[in-house]
Copies of this chain bind each other. A is one copy, B any other.
């Protein structure tokens, strides 16, 4: 599959490398056409990896992953324009962290509790199928769930069942066995609001390599 990734930071490049290794073609999109980090990633990754602007990456992808800092996700997708995303699956991996507040930071007040970044991305892209997932774990765990011992769980939110199923297939190819479908995109509120306890646990454990296993009666 052709996959566009918005963002050339650690999350975008980690996911990009894994997807290329699985046989997908990946274009990493950045603000400028010749982004240095993206260029380095293309050189290191080789066949199947390419770079371009945000708009190039969107045009390239049958599926588009949003791996941006939460405070720029909405401005970037709006700057590309909703029409360019029409009919595509958009996987929102970002969290609305208010990084200006220092670590551990709160969430952005306009994107928490009564709405979420996932919902606002869906509103901004009405012709696309927005799916929220992967945002509850560190990027190394995203592509290598075996980094934590025993099985653990991912969550998925989105309005379109077929789009969620396609994304779950990609997650399974990463090694994820249990993906809990929470429901429509409004359920992204719950997964984004896991960030505050996640940051505290990272501080307590001294590692970002941990995850949740949901146990039932």
Cβ-based interface call for A44 (8 A): no
A201 within 8 Å of B by Cβ?
A: yes
A208 to chain B, nearest CB (A): 9
Would you give the shortest CB distance from A25 to chain B, in whole angstroms?
Answer: 31
A79 an interface residue at 8 Å Cβ cutoff?
A: no
Q: Is the C-beta of A66 less than 8 angstroms from some C-beta in chain B?
A: no
* A-B contacts besides A180-B204, A182-B204, A205-B216, 18 pairs, CB < 8 Å: A109-B113, A109-B114, A113-B113, A113-B196, A148-B215, A181-B204, A182-B200, A182-B201, A183-B203, A183-B204, A187-B200, A190-B197, A190-B199, A193-B194, A209-B217, A210-B215, A212-B213, A213-B215
In the assembly, how many copies of this chain are there? 2
Number of interface residues of A (CB under 8 A): 42
Binds B, one of A13-21, A34-42, A81-89, A149-157: A149-157
